[in-house]
Structure 1
């Protein structure tokens, strides 16, 4: 048996367990990723953090009008590290995103839930650098919340 044939055989054997459990790619034909792609209209953002969230959601799932997605972001910060001079040099941003997905035609709630994550940034003696770090941390927080939300929507889409 040639080397190529052995690799093909091993690849085929490796995919058998996936076929046995009815594995289907999320973004493949008929996958739950197709159910939400270009089907959801996200509520308009009011804050910079919400704008970053909506931008990431539209990058991941596109825009549409079949479903409506309402959300509410709660953000808090916690001092994470304080040095010997009692100066805060690391801050944790904690974000929670509560969401409701509705059918646009009927208004019926299809999926509700909440996702949460955190990120952090370092403070410096420079207020400009600290503000830049805070904004970058907020951007990362929005991306992480959006990615978790997309995962939840994809997981729930087959039951809509």
Structure 2
């Protein structure tokens, strides 16, 4: 493609993007982190349950890293985490070489005794079982930690997108 053709193409694309963003603004779309956005509304205002397992600790740690440590938080988030592990690959001798770990997070956001939001999300990761025992254990721990980060990010995204519907 010649340079002049590329300029025309980019001009059309950028013009289309400007038109799309203008039409989104006209329909009431507001970016959550833009002016009048609700992205920061929950920052430092959500208390989590004390972690009881390694998974819930990792979930809480990532959640608080993104959303801040609460100080006199009006909201409480209760999260029920569960995981399941499935064999994915095997050698001709029947040894499992790969595992898929699926995680589920069911959550309820409440203020006092009033339930404000609830939802669920799921994600998966995997790990390999082809190295030494120590390498396999490290790979497994890493897979579960990555899974908790993904689930925490998904819950946070759901909460931020719903923050505009919460009472002020």
For the superposition of Structure 1 and Structure 2, which TM-score range results when normalised by the shorter chain?
Answer: 0.7 to 0.9
Tell me if the contact between 1:28 and 1:34 (Cα under 8 Å) persists in the aligned partners.
no
Counterpart-to-counterpart distance in 2, 1:107 and 1:146: 23
Residue 153, structure 1, aligned to residue 152, structure 2? no
1:99 equivalent in structure 2 = 107
Q: Deviations over 1:103-153 (max 9, x none)?
A: 0xx321111111111100000241100000001101110011001101111
CA distance, structure 1, for counterparts of residue 82 and residue 21 of structure 2: 42
1:45 aligns with 51
* Cα distance per residue 1:12-48 (max 9 Å; x no partner): 5453122212221212233221221111111111111
Q: Distance in 1 between matches of 2:35 and 2:26?
A: 18
TM-score for the superposition, normalised by structure 1:
0.87
Which residue, out of 15, 35, 49, partners 2:21? 15
Instruction: Identify if the C-alpha distance between structure 1 residues 61 and 125 changes in structure 2 by more than 3 Å, giving closer, same or farther.
Output: closer
TM-score for both structures, normalised by structure 2: 0.83
* Secondary structure in structure 2 of the residue aligned to 1:36: coil
Q: Number of residues paired by the alignment?
A: 153
RMSD: 2.0
In the alignment, the residues of structure 2 paired with residue 14 and residue 98 of structure 1 have an alpha-carbon distance, to the nearest angstrom, of 35
Contact 2:32 2:161 in 1 (8 A): no
Q: Does 1:113 align with 2:111?
A: no
* Structure 1: runs of 5 or more not aligned: 1-5
Match of 2:75 in 1: 67
Mapped contact 1:97–1:114 kept (Cα < 8 A): yes
- Equivalent residue number for residue 90 of structure 1: 98
In structure 1, the residue matched to 2:6 is: none
Q: Secondary structure at the match of 2:94?
A: coil
Counterparts of residues 138-149 of structure 1 (less than 5 Å): 138-149=144-155
